[in-house]
Amino acid sequence: MPELPEVETTLRGIAPALTGQRIQRLLVRDRRLRQPVSNETEALLPGQRILHLHRRAKYLLLTLEEGAVLIHLGMSGSLRLTPVITDYRKHDHIDLLLESGLSLRLHDPRRFGLFQWIPTPVTSHPLLANLGPEPLSEACDGDYLYRVARKRHLAVKNLIMDSRVLVGVGNIYANEALFLSGIHPAQAAGSISQARYQRLAIAIKQVLSAAIEQGGTTLRDFLREDGHPGYFAQSLHVYNRADKPCHQCATPIEVLRIGQRSSFYCPVCQSETTPDCLPGARTGMSEP
């Protein structure tokens, strides 16, 4: 599943093949994505040079001579480079053919992804204008989280998954970061101490960084098949581990619905009475 680390890994993987390349042709086999691929997109891409690529939240941005291409992988999307555009599979919706002969191909079974030309400056685009800070940036720290959580009553898990507050933290990493910082996912955001938010900020960075490092696995995958589950699963402490023993205290992991999403937690390590110092003993990634 494309979470931030996978998007970052994808970016690093495709950037060398795309940077500086001129787009020869855009082939749209199925325009029905989260937003239909616009006529503008089809008209404006061919002939333009890709100046550079970067990531914002889970969006990939290809900066062109005029405007940019905004790509999102949704829940099931993947990008890969292919030398042959005639050999395509089901759900290979888009091919962006480059002058090198390689093609950037979007594969997305559930079609929640996005592939759209947008004008510059991209930061004023509605989809990008209201995004919170990057979790790996200095702007994301305990003081910031504590500040935005003041007087908020929603579950802390929902707070850190709100893209206006913080981008890139999906369900898996929200669960993991809350475990590492000893916070119950349903606890009201405004009731959590500043010290605990310091731990949470560190845990978010830690879990995302670790996953990006393991992205090497994904990197190899996305050039061939779409790299599916399992690649980071070995490192997960709570996600998808209902009834299995907590890596820290052996208590069975519990599951709860918060904001329509499965939330996994250890009832002992993640309770309001868990002292701030207890999970601190964790080295981060105790081996399963």
Partner DNA sequence: CACAAGACCTGGCAGC
Partner DNA sequence: TGCTGCCAGGTCTTGT
Query: Which of 90, 224 has the CB closer to DNA?
Result: 90
Does the active-site annotation cover 150?
Answer: no
Contact 149, 166 (CB under 8 A): no
Smallest distance, DNA to C-beta of residue 279, A: 22
Instruction: Give the interface with DNA as residue ranges (CB under 7 A).
Output: 1-3, 32, 34, 57-59, 72, 74-76, 90-91, 109-112, 127, 152-155, 158, 161, 163, 170-172, 189-190, 239-240, 259-262
- Which entry of 58, 80, 157, 241 is annotated as an active-site residue? 58
In the chain, what's the furthest Cα-to-Cα distance? 61
Burial readout 37-65 (b: 16 or more C-beta within 10 A, e: otherwise): beeebeebbeebebeebebbbbbbbbbbe
Q: Among residues 32 and 147, whose Cβ is nearest to DNA?
A: 32
How many CB atoms neighbour CB 84 within 10 A?
11
Q: Minimal distance in Å, beta carbon 172 to DNA? A: 6
Residue 75 · residue 112 · CB < 8 Å? yes
Min separation Cβ 49 and DNA, Å: 27
Judged by beta carbon, residue 172 or residue 178, the one nearer DNA is 172
- The Cα 141–Cα 115 span in angstroms is 32
Q: Which is nearer to DNA, 59 or 146 (CB)?
A: 59
Distance CA 181, CA 183 (A): 6
Q: How far is the CB of 149 from DNA (least distance, A)?
A: 9
Q: Residue 2 catalytic? A: yes
Task: Give yes or no: 105 in active site.
Answer: no
Active-site entry in 2, 5, 135, 185 = 2
Question: What whole-number distance in Å separates Cα of residue 169 and Cα of residue 57?
Answer: 9
Query: What minimum distance in Å lies between the beta carbon of 90 and DNA?
Result: 6
Q: Known catalytic residue: 261?
A: yes
Looking at beta carbons only, is 71 or 97 nearer to DNA? 71
C-alpha pair distances (Å), 238 with each of 179, 210, 245:
7, 16, 9
Distance CA 192, CA 180 (A): 15
**Helix ranges (DSSP H) in the chain:** 4-18, 39-44, 126-129, 142-149, 156-160, 171-180, 194-213, 215-223
Q: Which of 3, 6, 8, 176 is catalytic?
A: 3
Instruction: Pick the catalytic residue from 111, 205, 261, 267.
Output: 261
Q: Which residues are catalytic?
A: 2-3, 58, 261
